[in-house]
Amino acid sequence: MGVTEKNQTERIAELEHRLAEAEETLEAIRQGAIDAVVINGPTGEQVYALEGPDHPYRVLVEEMHQGTVTLDPDGLILYCNRQFAAMVKTPVEKVIGFRIHLFLTEDEEPAFSALIATAANGHSQGELNLLAGNDGLVPVLLSLNKLEMSGIENLCAVVTDLTEARRNEAIVKEEQLSRLILEQTAEPVIVIDACGKILRAGEAARRLAGSNVLFQDFSAAFQISDQEGSVTFSRLLSGVRSQRGWRSVEVTMNSRQGQAYALLLSASPLWSPGRELLGCVLTLTDITHRKLAEEELARQAAALAQSNSDLRQFAYSASHDLQEPLRHLAIYTELLQQKYEGKLDLEADQFIQRTIEAAHRMECLLKDLLSYTHAADSPQGAAASADANAVLAKVLGTFEQRIAREHAIITSDPLPALRVHEVHLSQLFQNLISNSFKYHGNAPLKLHIGADHAEDGTWRLSVEDNGIGIDSRYHQQVFGLFKRLHGSSRYTGNGIGLAICQKIVQRYGGKIWVESTTGEGSIFRFTLPGEDSPYAKA
Amino acid sequence: MGPHHHDLRLYVAGTGAKSLRAIRIITRLCEAELAGRYRLEIVDVYRHPARAVEDQVVAIPTLIKWAPGSVKRLVGDLSHEARVRSGLGLAA
């Protein structure tokens, strides 16, 4: 076969192919299987629809403000207008031919399925969120209608963007909320405009003013003054504009009824979006009662301090003034003994001896009374933080020789920092440990100093020994002044140590007590404020 | 697009009934038989009339298969399944 013949065969094949296509097209048109025809008219391409004059409707659908989609029963988007595509921030080509579920989040799917199901009865409507663009959501109102088209029940949805409506709703709700708050709050709240006129006043504010102060001049309705004088509206404004502002400033007010109030004034400015001062919001907290209580407390504290001071004075001069005649008593009785010992009868010697001992004992008692009076007094004022471990170490140092000699075993927990004067803490440990040494039984002394935290930030310390113990009947008495449980022969001391401990502990708001049984050792416990305790007081 | 992938273009006319039907049928078919191996472009002739003329499309809807194999055109709503399958080169 020659070249031209080959060409011819190819040409014929191509022509046949084109003919077949053209015939198919004509056949399709004849069968009515098409919607429209595209014609190259004199003014460009024209589309001629074969199904009636739908042009105005098409324009309407394309141009309308709402979005619209035509869906098949499974949610396949067969058609969408420009608005819908814009609403979901997706180009039209990426919408048509895709399922609407692409624009639904997982939690919206049940709602959407429900809408579709209801639309089967003709119509359904509901609010949903659609995914818009990469990360956004757009709240919409979906209105679905059944649309039967050539045997298939498609759905036509009109999609209305609710973003604007929602925003307005939110604003209205906020306004309602702020009104409620203003009305119901127990604190007087007032809103003033830039000219000093009261625009809003809650119920509490009206009560404070004694009348309905709405639309009145602020300075007239509330006669307020602070340290610098009368708080006029202009002072209020300049304060509100400045950095300082009005934050819980103590002021006084005289109401129309002649009542005096102590108040805390706070005011914040209201700015317009253009930084223009629209007015300010004021709160007045009534602290009248609190101030009265404070004054009463201060008065009582002063009275108490005076009383204490008086007592101290009394105790001091009493013991001081008693010391001198006592000294004389002791001296002359000693002289008596020196001169007449053995020169009178035996009884006389005994009487003189007893008198001397009594005088000496009384001197000790007076000395102890003096030290008890002064105990816990100085240093005055609030304490710095004391490291209990260091204090204990120093105190134990003074017992060093005794510990070695008696083979005593001393242990301790790690101790906290306490808000107590070191000298007081030292005295506490000194007295308690001294007692433990004094009253230990036959076994070598075992002493343990412990510490644990109580719930309220105070610390509970303990000094535990294996000594002779204290019968429960006397657990209170041991802290009394000059109370001794044992005769002076076996154990020395005047019994004032524990009383001093109690005085010290009480100064810091704590308590001291003992847990003990005869023959089974004792645990002395006492509470003191920790470094950070809110109860630490001078 | 691989060498054996189907490259398809469907011309539609807005919300015309036949057009919507064609969309439905062809997307279903592609999802079922050619998943991941096809590209389907849907062109609305009311939005882009010039493209119809460019592709020498007269009657709407028309499906054009550019690949694989020789170019094939199917006119109408694609409801004749056997014809569509054969036109796309799919088994009957």
Whether A487 shows a pLDDT value over 70: the answer reads no
Contacts of B42 in chain A (CB under 8 A): 93, 96-97
Residue A288 tokens, joined: 């009248």
Neighbours of A307 (CB within 10 A): 10
Q: pLDDT per residue over A85-102, tens digit each?
A: 999 999 999 999 999 999
| CA distances from residue A122 to A61, A117, A157, A307, B60 in whole angstroms, order as listed | 20, 10, 12, 93, 30
User: Which amino acid belongs to residue A384?
Assistant: A
**What is the b/e burial string over A59-81, where b = at least 16 CB atoms within 10 angstroms of the residue's CB?**
eebeeeebbbbbbbeebbbbbbb
Q: Is residue B42 part of a domain?
A: yes
H/E stretch holding B50: helix B49-54
Question: Is residue A147 classed as helix, strand or coil in its secondary structure?
Answer: strand
- Percent pLDDT > 70 in chain A is 95
B80: nearest CA partner in chain A: A33
Residue from A35, A57, A99, A145 to probe the interface with B (highest B Cβ count within 10 Å) = A35
Cβ-in-10-Å burial (0-12, 13-18, 19+) of A214 comes to: middle
**CB–CB contact A70 B20 (8 Å):** yes
Q: What is the average pLDDT across A364-383?
A: 77
- Measure in Å the smallest separation between the Cα of A268 and chain B Cα atoms: 57
pLDDT recorded at residue A446: 92
* CA atoms of A197 and A213, how far apart (whole Å): 9
- Per-residue pLDDT tens over the stretch A120-145: 888 899 999 999 988 789 999 999 99
Contact between chains at B13 and A36 (C-beta distance less than 8 A):
yes
Residue of chain A with shortest Cα separation from B57: A38
Which residues, including other chains, have CB under 8 Å from residue A296's CB and lie 6 or more apart? none
Helix (H) or strand (E) holding A290: helix A288-340
Residue A252 sits at φ, ψ, to 5 deg, of -120, 155
Q: What pLDDT sits at residue A482?
A: 66
Residue B68 belongs to a domain: yes
Residue A295 has pLDDT above 70, yes or no: yes
Nearest to A312 by CA among A233, A237, A378, A256: A378
Alpha-carbon gap, residue A333 to A250, rounded angstroms: 69
Closest CA to B8 of B52, B73, B57, B60: B73
Q: Do A37 and B15 touch (CB under 8 A)?
A: no
Taking an 8 Å cut-off on Cβ atoms, the answer to whether B13 and A49 are in contact is yes
The pLDDT value recorded for residue A391 is: 93
pLDDT single digits (tens) A3-45: 677 788 889 988 898 888 888 888 888 877 888 888 777 777 7
For the ranges A376-385, A438-447, A451-460, which has the lowest average pLDDT? Answer: A376-385
* B1 falls within a domain: no
Is the pLDDT at A366 greater than 70? The verdict is yes
What does the block give as tokens for A446?
A: 């075992």
Identify residue A40 by its one-letter amino acid code: N
Q: B17 to chain A: which residues are within 8 Å by CB?
A: 35, 51, 149-150
Q: What residues have CB less than 8 Å from A410, skipping those under 6 apart? A: A396, A403, A447, A448, A449
Residue A538: predicted pLDDT: 43
Residue B71 lies in a domain: yes
Q: Which helix (H) or strand (E) holds A401?
A: helix A400-406
3-state SS, residue A99 = strand
What residues of A are in contact with residue B58 (Cβ under 8 Å)? 25, 37-39
A173-177, A284-288, A479-483, B70-74: the lowest-pLDDT one: A479-483
Distance from CA of A76 to the nearest CA of B (A): 7
| Residue B58, domain member (yes or no) | yes
A517-526: average pLDDT = 91
**DSSP code of residue A395:** H
Check CB contact of A19 with chain B, cutoff 8 Å.
Answer: no
A91 touches B: beta carbon within 8 Å: no
Residue A221 neighbours by CB distance under 10 Å: 25
Say if B15 falls within a structural domain.
Answer: yes
Cα(A280)–Cα(A235) distance, rounded to whole angstroms?
12
Q: Where are the alpha helices (DSSP H) in A126-202?
A: 163-184
* Region A261-281 average pLDDT: 85
Q: Residue B51 is part of a domain; what is its CATH number?
A: 3.40.30.10
Tell whether B22 is covered by a domain: yes
**Cα distance from A6 to chain B (closest Cα, Å)?**
20
CA nearest to B26 within chain A: A97
**Residue A33 touches chain B, beta carbons under 8 Å:** yes
Alpha-carbon span B21 to A92, nearest angstrom = 18
Q: Which domain holds residue B52?
A: 6-88
Sign of the Cα pseudo-torsion (A297, A303, A306, A310, in order): negative
The pLDDT score that the predictor gives to residue A260 is 87
Q: How far is A93 from chain B (nearest CA, A)?
A: 7
Mean pLDDT of A363-379: 77
B15/A492: higher pLDDT? B15
Structure-block tokens of residue A448: 């343990």
pLDDT of residue A103: 94
Q: CB-CB: which of B19, B21, B58 is closest to A25?
A: B58
**CB distance A47–B13 less than 8 Å?**
yes
Pick from A230, A215, A213: which is nearest to A265 by CA?
Answer: A230
Residues from chain B that touch A61, judged by Cβ atoms under 8 A, are 15
Cis-peptide, bond into residue A73, ω within 30° of zero: no
CA nearest neighbour of A157 among A95, A107, A218: A95
Residue A43 touches partner B, C-beta closer than 8 Å:
no
For CA atoms A217, A220, A221, A222, give the dihedral sign. positive
| Element spanning A78, H or E | strand A77-80
φ, ψ dihedrals at B65, nearest 5°: -100, 110
Instruction: Using a CB–CB cutoff of 8 Å, tell me whether B48 touches chain A.
Output: no
Mean pLDDT of A164-183: 80
Nearest to B58 among A33, A38, A76 (CB): A38
* Residue of B62 and A18 predicted with greater confidence: B62
Interface test with A, best of B15, B21, B23, B62 (most A CBs within 10 A): B15
Average pLDDT (A208-219) is 86
Q: Which of A453, A529, A516 is nearest to A479 (CA)?
A: A516
CA dist., res. A368 & res. A506, Å (int): 19
Q: Are B53 and A38 in contact (CB under 8 A)?
A: yes
| H or E element, residue B40 | strand B38-44
Determine whether the interchain pair A150/B18 forms a contact, defined as Cβ–Cβ distance below 8 Å. yes
How many distinct structural domains can be found in chain B?
A: 1
Q: What are phi and psi of A258, to 5 degrees?
A: 90, 10
Nearest to A149 among B14, B17, B47 (CB): B17
pLDDT band at A202 (very low <50, low <70, confident <90, very high): confident
Q: Which two tokens stand for residue B90?
A: 């799919």
Statement: residue A537 has pLDDT above 70: no
Q: Which pLDDT belongs to residue A170?
A: 78
Cis before A56 (ω within 30): no
Nearest CA to A501 out of A402, A410, A434 is that of A434
In this prediction, residues A144-160 reach a mean pLDDT of 87
- Closest to A55 (Cα-Cα) out of B14, B50, B62, B60: B14
Yes or no, beta carbons of B60 and A31 under 8 Å apart: no
Does A31 contact B76 at a Cβ distance shorter than 8 Å?
yes
Task: Look at B23 and A24 and tell me if their CB atoms are within 8 Å.
Answer: no
Q: What whole-number percentage of chain B has pLDDT above 90?
A: 47
Encoding tokens for residue A507? Answer: 């100064």
Cβ atoms of B52 and B15 within 8 Å: the answer is no
Name the DSSP class of A308.
H
pLDDT tens digit sequence for A333-358: 999 889 988 888 888 888 988 988 88
Is residue A1 over pLDDT 60? no
Would you call A59 an interface residue with chain B, using a CB distance cutoff of 8 Å? no
The rounded distance, in Å, linking the Cα atoms of A461 and A205 is 52
Residue B23, chain A, CB below 8 Å: the answer is yes
Of B40, B50, B59, which has the smallest distance from its Cβ to A97's Cβ?
Answer: B40
